[in-house]
Chain A
């Protein structure tokens, strides 16, 4: 005797059965809460020294929980500010890339033909290249085109980084959405919709995209991770956002660790790295559970 439960409920149950993902949700929620409440959770300003000099490279202690950096700033507070910038970059660029990716992917999959060929060739090629190289070359190129600056911001602004990742991020999403659309478009209900005279755009909007929501959500989580890691990578090599005097980013903090390694100030390396890995890992786990939850083929009995 099967109890009647809605598909949504079933997906939820599957998500919850992924233990790592549930733990991840809690960790990530705590982190986001800390960041959102930064006026209360941060103990110092972003550029504020914890005490009068000598205050540089203090190991973790009562007035600086995670130690201080080369000019005496509290690492714990800076991590909170840094994660805030990184999360903003991750979320915004992921949302833009998912929007573009859905549009391009569904059109390519649904219409097929020349457009599909060209788009997929281009994305294949882009995705085959070392990400860092493409990113750096595109970054400099876009930064040098002066008439674009009012739209996408200065080379070292957060907006520029968001645009940069959006330009790359959509390709992976488009590929996923296209695959999904290709699989769906031969199904009976699409045929039925076409038979009653629904327009293409209507079918895409009301049938194809809602039915692809699972893979799209998964793609969203992975784009967030890749944007956050990408920002850190750029910042690590000194090409990241100069978030201005009032801000920092996770990448800048991880980059600072580089200099501290040889001197053995372990806290400067360990804590930013741990934070970055925690964010990446938790979002990845959530994405994995979302995939399990929304992919009907993964249905397990019981």
Chain B
């Protein structure tokens, strides 16, 4: 076991050694794409029409907007790594406090939605796979298909319509609020209010996750159930329940865990859309508003976080796959 652990560790280190240059490369590409796409110097001049040339020069300097992309990128990188982050174009505010709040809100929403989504997705997948071809299988499969065919903004809009307008019209009181984290004007922490505000966004994101995971789990479990070792386990006289839990589910979860880690990008995509519709002050709202303004100092740290987390989860996928399935050689 010690040898194996050592191998896993080496594997992780080698993957990390790949992930770091990739991080630099991708952030460089993002830097170039954003500079071409949003033209940060122009956005600065547009928002601060009376900025003096000295002020503009200083802005170019702190943001690493050198006409030479490579030199500019390194300038930006140095400032970024030394935590000397430039202030946002609009309102000239510090970036980190905003980003931190957005990140916390999104993590809360994403964690809640993932937990709900993965739990129900796996349950439905198992439920469907136990009687392949049966009525519940067809039902779950069809429902999952409907789930993946509904874009998040469609379910969000329909939920908003029901809960923002019709619920109070029909029942005389609002059940779930449809925007923000707290009612306007609220200060301080209140878990109950926060949870109530999160119900609808979580539902929207979870629908997608449930649909995707139900399908993965179903097909993975079906594969496992029809394999030779399951037949062997049964023929040994182990109870059906034990066969299912000890041998079936454990092996069926291996590919699902990997996919879970790789799927984080699409969950973030769903979060961006959902947050904007429910005016939820998270990463998605942060991104779309700063992207709309072409606010380069706000956008770059956001991008770095996203790039880093995508790479991190890719790494986790590789590692978990190797960890969970000893048949995978860590060459």
Query: Are A and B bound to each other?
Result: yes
Cα A19 to Cα B218 in complex, Å, equals 20
Contacts of A261 in B (CB 8 A): 157, 160-161, 164-165
Report whether A266 and B161 are in contact in the complex, using a CB–CB cutoff of 8 Å.
yes
Q: How far, in angstroms, from A124 to B38 measured CA to CA in the complex?
A: 26
Question: Taking the complex as formed, is A203 at the interface, i.e. its CB lies under 8 A from any CB of chain B?
Answer: no
Q: A232-B151, A273-B158, A284-B149 are in contact. Are A129 and B265 (CB under 8 A)?
A: yes
Instruction: Please tell me which one of the listed residues A140, A233, A276 contacts residue B38 in the complex, with CB atoms under 8 A apart.
Output: A140
Distance, CA A136 to CA B39, complexed state (A): 14
B30 lies within 8 A of A257 (CB): no
- Asked if B269 and A132 make an inter-chain contact with CB atoms under 8 angstroms apart, the answer reads yes
B269 near A284 with CB under 8 A, answer: no
Segment 253-310 of B: residues with Cβ below 8 Å from A: 262, 264-266, 268-269, 272-273, 276-277, 287-288, 291, 306-307, 310
**Residues 232-252 (chain B) with a chain A CB within 8 angstroms:** none
Given the complex of chains A and B, what is the CA–CA distance between A145 and B307 in angstroms?
Answer: 24
Minimum C-beta distance from A164 to chain B (A): 12
Question: A280, B33: Cβ atoms under 8 Å?
Answer: no
Asked if residues B157 and A257 are in contact (CB atoms below 8 Å), the reply is yes
Interface string of B27-66 (1 = CB under 8 A from A): 0001001101111000000000000000000000000000
The segment from B116-124, B140-148, B323-331 found at the interface with A is: B140-148
Bound together, the chains give a CA A280 to CA B33 distance in angstroms of 31
In angstroms, Cα B166 to Cα A64, docked, is 23
Taken together as a complex, chains A and B put the C-alpha atoms of A89 and B166 apart, in Å, by 35
Interface contact B269-A130, CB-CB below 8 Å: yes
Contact with B along A125-156 (1 / 0, CB 8 A): 10111111100111111011100000000000
Is A258's beta carbon under 8 Å from chain B? Answer: yes
Do A277 and B150 touch (CB < 8 A)?
yes
Contact at A281–B272, with CB atoms within 8 Å?
no
Chain B residue, CB-CB nearest to A229? B151
Contact A138 B150 (CB under 8 A): no
The residues in A between 97 and 130 inclusive whose CB is less than 8 angstroms from any CB of B are 124-125, 127-130
- A128–B165 touching, CB < 8 Å: no
A contacts with B, residue count (CB < 8 A): 43
Per-residue CB contact flags for chain A residues 278-291 toward chain B (1 = under 8 Å, else 0) read 00110011001000
B269 close to A143 (CB less than 8 A): no
Q: Is the interface of B mostly helix, strand, loop or mixed?
A: helix
Contact between B154 and A254 (Cβ–Cβ < 8 Å)? yes
CB-defined interface of B204-232 with A at 8 Å, one 1/0 digit per residue? 00000000000000000000000000000
CB within 8 Å for A143 and B37 given contacts A273-B154, A281-B149: yes
Tell me if B272 and A130 are in contact (CB < 8 A).
yes
B158 touches A270 (CB 8 A): yes
**Residue in B33, B151, B306 with the greatest tally of chain A CB atoms within 10 Å:** B151
Closest Cβ neighbor of B262 among chain A residues: A128
Query: Which residues from 139 to 181 on chain A have a C-beta closer than 8 Å to any C-beta of chain B?
Result: 139-141, 143-145
Chain B nearest CB, measured from A272 CB (Å): 9
Q: Is the CB of A284 within 8 A of B26?
A: no
Which of A125, A273, A277 touches B26 (beta carbons < 8 Å)?
A125
One of A131, A132, A284 near B148 (C-beta < 8 A): A284
Once bound together, how far apart are the Cα atoms of A263 and B154, in whole Å? Answer: 17
Q: Which residue of B lies closest to A19 (CB)?
A: B138
CA distance A225 to B26 in the complex (A): 28
A237 to B273, CA, bound (A): 9
Measured CB to CB, the nearest residue on chain A to B302 is A133
Q: A261-B157, A261-B165, A269-B157 are in contact. Are A237 and B276 (CB under 8 A)?
A: yes
The reply to whether B37 and A137 contact each other, CB–CB distance below 8 Å, is yes
Q: CB distance B149 to A280 under 8 Å?
A: yes
**A136-B149 contact, Cβ under 8 Å, with A129-B310, A264-B165, A276-B154:** no
> Counting CB contacts under 8 A, is B176 at the interface?
no
Q: Which of B1-39 contact A (CB under 8 A)?
A: 22, 26, 30, 33-34, 36-39
A264-B149 in contact given A130-B269, A233-B273, A237-B276 (Cβ < 8 Å): no
Chain B residues lying within 8 Å of A264, measured Cβ to Cβ, are 161, 165-166, 169
Chain A residues lying within 8 Å of B160, measured Cβ to Cβ, are 261-262
Give the docked Cα–Cα distance between A232 and B157 (Å): 13
Determine the chain A residues whose CB is within 8 A of the CB of B264 once the complex forms.
Answer: 128
How far, in angstroms, from A136 to B34 measured CA to CA in the complex?
10
Could you tell me if B37 and A140 are in contact, using CB atoms closer than 8 angstroms?
yes
Residues of chain B lying within 8 A (CB to CB) of residue A266: 161, 165-166
Asked if A20 is at the interface of the complex by the 8 Å CB criterion, the answer is: yes
List 11 A-B pairs, Cβ < 8 Å: A128-B264, A130-B272, A131-B266, A131-B269, A132-B269, A140-B38, A141-B36, A262-B160, A270-B158, A277-B146, A277-B151
Given contacts A127-B265, A128-B314, 7 further A-B contacts (CB under 8 A): A130-B269, A140-B38, A229-B151, A261-B160, A269-B161, A277-B146, A284-B149
**Which 6 residue pairs are nearest across A and B when measured between Cβ atoms?**
A140-B37, A130-B269, A141-B37, A264-B165, A281-B149, A280-B149
